[in-house]
Structure 1
Amino acid sequence: MTDINDTQRSGIEIRNLYKIFGPTPERYIDAVKAGMTKEELNDKHNHVLGLRDISLSLPPGKISVIMGLSGSGKSTLIRHINGLIAPTAGEILYGGQDVVTMGTQELRAFRRATTAMVFQKFGLLPHRTVLENTCYGLDVQGLPRSKVEPIARKWIDRVGLSGFEDNYPAQLSGGMQQRVGLARALANDVDILLMDEAFSALDPLIRMDMQKVLLELQDELQKTVVFITHDLDEALRLGDTIALLRDGGLEQVGSGQDIVLRPANDYIAEFVREVNRGRVIRADRIARPLAEGEAPPAFKVEGSKVLERVAREMVAAGVENATVTDRKGVDIGVIESAAILSAIVTPTELAS
């Protein structure tokens, strides 16, 4: 675990962010703020609205997932965080500094020392070996190879690629190449990891394996991760917080449970309609308080476990109810099989 307390670290604060693509975006920012639609901006002025009034807090030490369909603005948003794209209006604050106002030298230092990016297409240098690719970010900083290589080898080992140090990217599978990309980012020891559709090009089983690798590393390292995806299942598995974008605007922000159980509008409701709720909703979310004088069931489950797992444990134990505990083992309520079924089945399914 990192020895930096989250209260001593900075999250990322995005405030009233707008992005208009075109030759003279500043001419139309007031019209967009007044309500001009994306279609109107394009049809009348041949400019494209990328982001509209995005205000978002990305907490330190957590995985924040930005998701949406193609064209929603998610990749545009992540590229604002490290200054690859400049906004038409708005602020991006980290550690009390506005990334938007940074000069060239300051921005270069911020990218090298504070952020690292993991790309969908891996972004590896084909003429460099696994070891050399992992060293790249530290090489750019001018550190001696005698110091860089032990760091690189450590992270190559941590992502499961020991023995492949001398291989070139073309000799690796897609999943292995992405492990190199992750090792390269971690070798820089930065606080912020920006992951833009990092696992989208991978086969489903390899993709799930990489998600597991990320979660295991994050449990120890507690980086501030901004993860872009169009896949809801991936967002629900990875995200401490999920922000859903649509046509450049923010539709809803919350935990996976919040979004599945309380969609903000019809668009979000349709988005999450086919979600396996048993893999999202946790036991502590539906646990009821013990009634006065009620003896707690002998069988216990941890409240942080999802309902699908709890149901399996209860079936294996042959019980219809269980005591739900917090992480310290303190009783916080009771859960019944009927309540699990009601929570897993959507209202539409219940009605039918």
Structure 2
Amino acid sequence: MTDLDLSALRRWPDVESPELVAVDATDRLILDTAAEAIAAHPDGVLVIDDNYGALTLGAIALGARGVRVHQDSIVAERALAANAGERAREYRTVALDDEGFAGARVVLWQLPRSLDRLDDVAHLISDAGGPETTVYAGGRIKHMTPRMNEVLGRYFDRVDVTHARQKSRVLVGSENAMVSCRGMLPDVRDEGAVRYLAAPGVFNGGRLDIGTRALLAVLDELPDARTVVDLGCGSGILAARLAQRYPDADVIATDVSAAAVAAAARTAELNGLPNVRVLRDDAGQGIPDSSVDLVLLNPPFHDGGAVHTGIASKLFASAARMLRPGGELWTVYNSALAYRGELQRVVGPTRQVSRTPKFTVTSSTRQP
């Protein structure tokens, strides 16, 4: 395919483990399917949601120049930069907007799981691209559905499906229908005392998930705090409730996702909460050590398509680092995961606050 050894790519700074890979069969199939188009339009390549750099660096190895890249995850951005080395000058990061996507001829895209995210980004590609824009959107077959073809078909008059290879396929959208997304209204909803933006691509569609509801059920039991962190804030509903609960506190809402932090900022604005500060970061790395009184966390239990606890462990360690001595981490997790022992070891003494057959809420106190 290319003279680039994709197998040498790493996931760092994301969780690394023998069963987790930095490049998969979908990356390779997308590149092979799009190779002729990249050679024909080397200055018109746009890459969307490249996990660790395989699509971007693979396209460069195929002759692409000045590749534009949009990655929702800041971890993916940093992994690409680490893997790129001297090739970093051969691509540039762009925003999810008309200017960043304008005139793209060849779009390489790891399919999102969310149909709302697929629709939102495909709409933008169609609107910002030209009549000759072609999209190569690939995924693992087990995560693909006929609805994805239908969504892409709203914006491209022709949608072809490649043969399966190593349990992956690529949807090829061509003959751009040039559908304009001008004038689309944001989806603002109500969740109790909070108005929020339900944004495509945000966990659970931006809605309040059942685990976070378990945290909100014990909101009145939280200790006094001057600095509070919603670690993995999503659309910012929990951060907004915390800002209402602690009107004189500094509430930091942080997430790896660009879509999430944009939604959280809008949620804070909709509710008139100037004490919410939004930060796009990897596990809150930009928050100083020993600077926080209270952290709330609803950790993910999967990494992409793989069930894996590595991300939760990373977030526990980050919370321990940022908490002041005596500060508390309140965590909600699936009761079957039994994180209590790890929390006790990494953060400090841990007690159960509430428990149902499905979810457990614990409080862990940081020791001096």
Judge same fold: TM > 0.5, yes or no.
Answer: no
The structure in which a higher percent of residues are helix is: 1
TM-score, scaled to structure 2? 0.25
